[in-house]
Amino acid sequence: MSTATPPRIAQLLPAARAGDARAMEQLLALARPDIRRYALRHCAATTATDDVVQEALIIVYRRVGALREVAAFGGWVIRIVQRLCMRPMLAWLKAEPLAQVEDDLAWSHKPDHELRHDLALAIDSLPSKYREALLLRDFEELTIEEMSERLGVTREAAKSRLHRARALVREYLVPTDRTGIK
């Protein structure tokens, strides 16, 4: 997909943004081949291209109403695919060093349902302003701008709340003793 918006997409986009289900269906059908081609060309070999295409289509479906300019559709979709292609690499870069993971063997023996329960308790323990920020960003996958708008705070305040919420969840899940050692 080039960054220029094809005429057919430009015709469908306003109706899709207004909530027309048929226009949205046609828009996604038109965008799918270009999204797939871009994902095949630019995603790492380890990334499941079909998953990237599906996630990109879901994001377009959910967020097309937030698109400000019809002409920006092509570039917007390409940027979505780029971010999705980068996720596995970013996750790898952010991974904990092996020594820290080995020190935390208690987590490896817990069943998934217990881990989910612990995480739910950690999130539930947060003050409401931090809980809301965490849920908007990590569960609803809003951008920082969308999150700050929904919270009615500045972009910086939204980022600060999110950072503090994640730190509090981390503290809840991995408590430290008085000396600061896990």
pLDDT tens across 125-166, in order? 888 899 899 888 887 788 889 999 999 999 999 999 999 998
Tell me the domains of the chain and their CATH numbers: 7-94 (1.10.1740.10), 98-173 (1.10.10.10)
Contacts of 59 (CB under 8 A, 6+ apart): 80, 84
Half-sphere exposure in the Cβ direction for 136 (13 Å, CA)? 23
- As a whole number of angstroms, the distance between CA 78 and CA 40 comes to 12
- As a whole number of angstroms, the distance between CA 73 and CA 166 comes to 33
Q: Looking up tokens 């094809």, which residue turns up?
A: 6
Does residue 122 have a pLDDT over 80? yes
Contacts of 118 (CB under 8 A, 6+ apart): 110, 173
Coil, strand or helix: which one is 34?
A: helix
Query: Which ranges constitute the DSSP H helices of the chain?
Result: 7-17, 21-42, 49-63, 73-94, 98-103, 105-108, 112-124, 128-134, 144-151, 155-173
Predicted confidence (pLDDT) per residue in 76-107, tens digit: 888 888 888 877 666 555 554 544 544 555 55
Between 2-6, 43-47, 52-56, 98-102, the lowest mean confidence (pLDDT) is in: 98-102
